[in-house]
Structures are given as C-alpha cells and as structure tokens.
A and B are shown apart, each in its own frame.
Chain A
Amino acid sequence: MNINATLIGQAIWFALFIWITMKYVWPPLQKAMADRQAQIADGLAAAERGKHEQELAAKRSADALREAKEKSSELIAQAEKRAQQIVEEAKGTAKVEADKVVAGAKAEIDQEVERAKQELRERVAELAVAGAEKILRKEINASAHAEMLVALKQDL
C-alpha cells in the first residue's frame, strides 16, 4: 500500500465526474422526473374529474328516465280515461239511436195495424153486406136499405 501522486490524478477524475453529473446528468433528469410527476398528477386529477362527471351524468339520465316513465304512465291513464269516455258516449248514442229505431218500428206497426183494421172493417162490412144480400136477396131491396148500411159502416 503506497500512497503517491495517483491520488491527485484520481481526485481530478472524481471532481470531473462530479461536475459532469452536477451539470449534465442530474438537472435534466430531475426536471424530466418532476415534469412526469406533475403530468401523472394532472392525469389522475382529470380521471377523477371525469369519473365525477360520469356519475353526475348517470344521475341525470336516471332522473330523466324516471320522469319519462311518470309522464308515460300519466299519458296512458289519460288515454284510458278518454277511451272509457268515448265508449260511454258511443253507448249513449247507440241507445238513443236504438230507441229511435224502436219508436219508428212501433209507429210503423201501429200504422200497419190501423190499416189492417181499416181493411178488415171494410171487408167485414162487405162480408156482412154480402151475407145479408144472400139472406135478404129475395125480400129486401138493396137500394132501399143502402142508407141504413152506410149508417152501420159509420158506426163500425
């Protein structure tokens, strides 16, 4: 173990390498690492913000969905009510119409009955006259009793 002038040479090497590290190695690396750290922190913050926004959006969409559901059920209820109303109205109209038809038919029937009665009345009178004629042919003069027959027809 002999100490000699190599010591001085090594000290110069050492100083040179310290200077290189201090000037050219450490500052740019430190800056790059610090910048990257800042970038990562920013990225994480942005991700957090995005997540929060996404949560808000999900909440908003859920709200909108619920609102739409409420509205649609309301609409359906309204439509059902309206349909019932229409049915009720239709029922009413139909009844009125049916009554009218029934009334018309009744009136026609009455008329028909009246006419039949009239006809019958005439036929009965005719038959009575014809019968009487046959019975009374020999003894009764048709013209002499015509006045009486007209009076009879009026009574029937």
Chain B
Amino acid sequence: MSADGGTLTTTGYIEHHLTNLAVCADSAKVDGVCTGFWTFHLDTLLVSGILGLVVFGFMALMASRATAGVPSGGQNFVEMVVGLVDQQVRDTFHGKSALVTPLAITIFVWVFVMNAMDLIPVDFLPTALQAATGNHHLPFKFVPTTDPNLTFAMSLTVFAISIVLGLKTKGFGHFMHEVFAVPFGLKLAPINLLFRIVEEIARPISLSLRLFGNMYAGEMVFILIALLGIYQLPLALPWELFHILIITLQAFVFMMLTIVYMSMAAESH
C-alpha cells in the first residue's frame, strides 16, 4: 500500500488510487489541483499510448512477415485474434467497407490490453513507480479504461465514423431523409428528428459508460480487497480469475456494438 505521509487512512488510500496524474497550466490550478478543460491525464495518455504502440507495433511486425505458408507462432496468434474479429464483422456487417474490420480489430485488441492492466496487483506498479521517482505522493492510474476521457474519446470517434460511413454509403439526401422521415414518416419530421438525436446521443454515452463503469467498479473491488490486509489472499485470486472474463467480455462488447452501429449506419432502415 502506498503510504500517505506516514499515516494511512482507508479513504486516503482509495482516493489516491483513483486520482489521475494530471498536468495543466499553473494558472488553471486551484489549491494545487488541476481544474478546467485544458488538463491532461498523463497516466492515461502514456499507458494507453505505450500499450497501443507495443501491441500494434507487434501486430504490424507480424503482419509484415506474414506468409501464406506455415505461419510462425506469433503470426498464428495474431491471425487467430484478427480472424476472430473478422468473423464477427462478416456475420454482422454486410456492407462493403475497408474501415470496419480494422476498426473492430483496433478496438478489441487495444481495449483488451488496457483492461488487462487491471490484472496486475493494484499496488504493484504505482509503488514501483513511486520508488523509482522518489515521489511517494505521485498518483498514477495504470488502467486507462477507468478514465472516462478514454472511453468517451473512443465512443465519440466511433460515433463520428458511423456518421461519415452513413453519409458515404447512403449519400446526403438519403441520409437526411432517414433522419427526418424514420420511423413515423415525413409528417412527423420534428419527432423523428428528436428520436434520432436521442438515439445518436445515447449510443456513444452507453458505449463509453459501460466500459468505464465495469472497469472502474472492478478496479474499486481490487482496491477494497487490497485493504483487507492478509485476508485479501483468498479473495484477490477469485476476483482476478473472474476479472479475466470481464476484461475480455468488455473488449468484445465494445467491438461488437461498434460493428452493429457501423452496420446500422451503412444499411437502410
């Protein structure tokens, strides 16, 4: 556990674990805490970026060496993951798009590795980092998906891509017609528009909050278990095993829903 000025309170421990490493201009600080929009969560940005660069770099390396002959172990592994995602896309998305499969692969792999950071014991990496920097109050969240900024960034990007895909496959006229005339016909255009807006707003919010909520809650349970001292041993393992399911499932759900939204955007109602 990270010591907080010698005395450790339960609240302090939990708060410390749920605080991002934020940087901002000095003028935006209130009592030494960053406020306002122009704040960057360095931990989220760094961990997600490094994980992404490593895993996608590895995948690109394997793909560049890919042969049609007998695949190497690494190529086989990457092909297995990619093939699984591709199968889902084929089953759900019937349009033609060079973007949907890579998008789904990116989401599944990236979300999975970021979620997998949750499996490393909660105090392990923060304590190591605090020891390395010498700053024992340094907050650092190692699970980027517990930061709503990340989940919202992903869901909003997906939302934007789905709008662009809809415009591209249907054309502007057809797209606008769908916005105003579905599901009640042109006579009730305002209501149709309202429905559409609610639907379009609900999608990215539910998509991002689902991932954020699950990972945040899972992380919270890990922190609470870590507070039990010696009694955490019989509890941490089952929760860890259960969490393997959750992180995979959440990555899969995010990917699957993205594919569904893409297919809804590309197909006429």
Contacts and interface: CB of A to CB of B under 8 A. Distances in A.
Interface of A: 1-11, 13-18, 20-22, 24-33, 35-36, 38-39
Interface of B: 20, 22, 34, 36-41, 44-45, 48-49, 52, 56-57, 59-60, 62-64, 66-69, 71, 75, 78-79, 82-83, 86, 98-99, 101-103, 105-106, 110, 147-150, 152-154, 156-157
Given A7-B149, A10-B45, A29-B78, A39 B40 contact: no
Given A4-B34, A10-B153, A18-B157, 8 more contacts: A4-B149, A10-B44, A11-B153, A11-B157, A14-B110, A20-B106, A22-B98, A25-B82
A13 B114 CA distance: 13
A25 B59 contact: yes
Contacts of A22: 98-99, 102-103
Given A7-B153, A21-B106, A13 B48 contact: yes
Nearest to B104: A21
26 contacts: A2-B39, A3-B152, A4-B41, A6-B40, A8-B153, A9-B153, A10-B44, A13-B153, A14-B106, A14-B153, A17-B106, A17-B110, A18-B103, A18-B157, A20-B60, A21-B59, A21-B105, A22-B98, A24-B60, A25-B56, A25-B63, A25-B105, A26-B82, A29-B82, A33-B79, A33-B83
Contacts of B69: 36, 39
Nearest to B147: A6
A5 B40 contact: yes
A28 B63 contact: yes
Given A25-B63, A25-B82, A6 B98 contact: no
A24 B22 CA distance: 33
A27 B82 CA distance: 11
Chain B at the A interface: mostly helix, strand, loop or mixed? Answer: helix
Contacts of B60: 20, 24-25
Contacts of A8: 153
Nearest to A35: B68
B218 to A, nearest CB: 16
Given A10-B149, A13-B52, A18 B154 contact: no
A24 B106 CA distance: 12
A51 to B, nearest CB: 24
A7 B156 CA distance: 9
Contacts of B39: 2, 4-6
A9 B37 contact: no
A17 B56 CA distance: 7
Contacts of A5: 37-40
Contact of B64 (A15, A24, A33, A38): A24
